[in-house]
Amino acid sequence: MTKVGIIDFKTCNLDSIRRASESCGVEVIVADQPGELAGLTHVILPGVGTFARGMENLKARGLDAAIHELVAADVPCLGICLGMQLLGEVGTEGGQEIPGLGLIPGRIERLLPRRPGDRIPHIGWNEVNFRDGGPLFADIPSGRDFYFVHSYHFVTADAKDVMATTPYCGMFSSVVGREIVFGTQFHPEKSQKWGIRLLRNFFSY
């Protein structure tokens, strides 16, 4: 029986991801304490806001350690937007080096414009491309648009961890994944049909 935990670390709107997850027919709980994470089959780390504040809030509740324990116990984890970025080793907002969860090696760097059309933040619908998108993209063709709203991106240490890319400021990793830990820079809960499909795929994993 699928039981999904959405981590509430007080950085963002959980309503959308909760409703989108519920629409996939799974049981969903919202958890802001490690004690509430028992019995989960899947965990989602959402997030909007700054890397520093995100890590601060996770650590304040012991949720950083709790997430590590879940992954060690083979519970698949999906990080969304800031949540994806927090999976990395280091965030660089404000010119500082802020340690992340370190579940997928890599750094979070600011998007740098390459062409005049590259305005920052990257806001809107853009295509997600892959050759083999892995389990998240079952029945989702490459090249479909998903909704992005961010100024930073995940630079993986290992190219193998890049599952999909998106053309903007050159090209950046829009989906990363290592074993049971995944991250999407876009918001599947705001990406309508294809976003909901991706969530379903995650819950079937």
Work out how close the CB of 75 gets to other proteins at its nearest, in angstroms, rounded to a whole number. Answer: 26
Instruction: Give the contact letters, 7-46, x = binds to other proteins (CB under 8 A), - = no.
Output: ----xxxxxx--xx--------------------------
Closest of 19, 64, 67 to residue 42, by C-alpha = 67
194 binding other proteins? (CB under 8 A): yes
DSSP letter string, 115-149:
STT--SSEEEEEEEB-S--GGGGTT--TTEEEEEE
**Which one from 12, 77, 81, 169 is the annotated catalytic residue?**
81
Strands 77-80 and 90-91: unpaired
Instruction: Give the contact letters, 108-137, x = binds to other proteins (CB under 8 A), - = no.
Output: -----x---x-xxxxxxxxx----------
170 binding other proteins? (CB under 8 A): no
Mark whether 189 is an active-site residue: yes
Mark whether 69 is an active-site residue: no
Closest of 61, 68, 81, 69 to residue 14, by C-alpha = 81
Considering only 167, 170, 179, 204, the residue that binds other proteins (CB under 8 A) is 167
Mark whether 187 is an active-site residue: yes
186 binding other proteins? (CB under 8 A): no
Residue 165 CB neighbour total at 10 angstroms: 16
Considering only 9, 130, 147, 202, the residue that binds other proteins (CB under 8 A) is 147
Helix axis angle for 192-204 and 15-22, nearest 10°, is 70
Distance from C-alpha of 113 to C-alpha of 55, rounded to nearest angstrom: 27
DSSP letter string, 50-75:
-HHHHHHHHHHTTHHHHHHHHHHTT-
- Enumerate the active-site residues: 81, 187, 189
Contact residues for other proteins, defined by CB under 8 A: 11-16, 19-20, 48-50, 53, 82, 113, 117, 119-127, 144-145, 147, 149-151, 167-168, 187, 189-190, 192-194, 196
